[in-house]
Amino acid sequence: MRIAVVHDYFTQLGGAEKVAEELYRTLPNASLFATVAFPDCMPPHLKNAGVRTSWMQNLPQIAKYYRTYFLVYPFAIASIDLSKYDLVVSSSSSYAKGIRTDRDALHVCYCHTPMRWVWNYKTYSERQSFGFTRGFLVPILIRGLKYWDQEASRQPDHFVANSKIVAERIRRAYGRSAEVIHPPIDTERFRPSGAQENYYVTLSRLVSYKRIDLAIQACTELNKRLFVIGDGPDRKRLEAIAGPSITFLGRAPDDVVEHYVSRCRALIFPGEEDFGMAPLEVAAAGRPTIAYRAGGAVETVMENATGIFFDEQSPEHLADAIQRFEQHEWCPELIRQHSEGFSVEVFRDRFRSFLRRVGAPFPAPAFSSDPRAVVAASLDSILS
């Protein structure tokens, strides 16, 4: 059986790229495809995978203008020839689900979300600095892209969603049902340190919808130390509103990230994410999360056990949550155990099991490859 894994594009390192990496590792001898791939944006286990890209890879200044070419991607994904593949797994938050396959091939789409800027353009555009001309033209172009997206959603035989909220978005946008399989969390990357220091962290790309501004404003108001880990186009704006208790670490090396995460009081997670891997990565270090009560966090943070919520995206509500958080006792062992229900091994078991159920010829193991799958089963009953 010939297997292909198709990811939208490798133009940044985020949660979707981590999932694509694990999908590739889960499927033996798979070939890897993408419209565009930048070497510095390939996850560690994919750097030598020999990713095959489309003709978009050779467009002028693609590394600088890959976002500007947004109308070109549908043509690029259609140009990739997968006619000789029996199983195609697309990893998609935008274009990969539109890949064309052989008539007899099985196509499973792991959907991170329907196109955010197409289906939620009003909210997305409010946080972008579009000029008049661009602000006038983009909505017209988006309507055409929305039509393409709906047509592309007919290509997969099956959808897998990364969370219940994304499964509901798939139902509303595409009229399709989706199996929920949570993304894989590398629970071995972070470990409890046994030490705790008096500071908070954010762990995120610095883009406007992540709402890191709320964490900065709340910690500045309370004079709480906050380490902002990550980089992105919103950094200058965030630095301009930061008080003296805020430190920007940028895109730090793994050992630096692990040091600050394992010793923090908590992760502050102020945005609404499709799933959000950071709270579970931090939970692997036994550290809790202060999260906005929306999106995937509702499925991954257990209130008063692995973290607490705030209900309005404002500095005042987040500041109140921080103060409530500091009155609570937290159990690192319980928080760590919670994260193990989302481990890489659990993800592999669930995804392979799903493929077998929908007709992919994967042999069923005599028993689970990892005892943490038992934890996952218990967690499912808690979160359902």
Predicted model pTM: 0.82
On whether the CB atoms of residues 66 and 41 are closer than 8 A, the answer is no
DSSP 8-state assignment for residue 176: -
Q: Where along the chain do its domains lie?
A: 3-114+153-184+343-383, 200-340
Question: Is CATH 3.40.50 correct for 3-114+153-184+343-383?
Answer: yes
Superfamily of domain 200-340: Glycogen Phosphorylase B; (3.40.50.2000)
CB neighbour list of residue 13: distance below 8 Å, 6 or more residues apart: 41, 43
**Local structure of 29: helix, strand or coil:** coil
Q: What pLDDT was estimated at residue 377?
A: 44
Percent of the chain exceeding pLDDT 90 equals 77
Q: What pLDDT was estimated at residue 367?
A: 42
CA distances to 2, 99, 103, 111, 273 from 89, rounded to whole Å, are 11, 10, 15, 10, 23
Type and span of the H or E element at 55: none
The stretch 222-236 carries a mean pLDDT of 96
Measured distance CA(289)–CA(201) in Å, rounded: 10
CB neighbour list of residue 168: distance below 8 Å, 6 or more residues apart: none
Burial class of residue 77 in the structure, from the number of CB atoms within 10 Å of its CB (0-12 exposed, 13-18 middle, 19+ buried): buried
pLDDT one-digit tens code per residue, 56-80 = 999 999 999 998 898 999 999 999 9
pLDDT one-digit tens code per residue, 100-158 = 999 999 999 999 999 987 877 665 555 555 444 455 577 777 888 999 999 999 999 99
CA distances to 56, 258, 331, 338 from 10, rounded to whole Å, are 12, 24, 37, 30
Q: How far apart are the first and last CA of the chain?
A: 35
On whether the CB atoms of residues 344 and 186 are closer than 8 A, the answer is yes
Rounded to the nearest integer, the mean pLDDT of the chain is 90
Question: What dihedral angle (degrees, nearest 10) is formed by the CA atoms of 19, 24, 25, 31?
Answer: -170
Measuring CA to CA, which residue among 120, 124, 181, 114 is closest to residue 152?
A: 114
For residues 309 and 115, the model is more confident at 309
Measured distance CA(312)–CA(217) in Å, rounded: 14
Q: What pLDDT was estimated at residue 4?
A: 97
Please give the single-letter amino acid code of residue 189: R
**What does the angle CA 189 – CA 192 – CA 195 come to, to the nearest 5 degrees?**
135
Question: What dihedral angle (degrees, nearest 10) is formed by the CA atoms of 118, 32, 209, 302?
Answer: 110
Measuring CA to CA, which residue among 297, 286, 151, 142 is closest to residue 211?
A: 297
Residue 149's beta-bridge partner residues? none
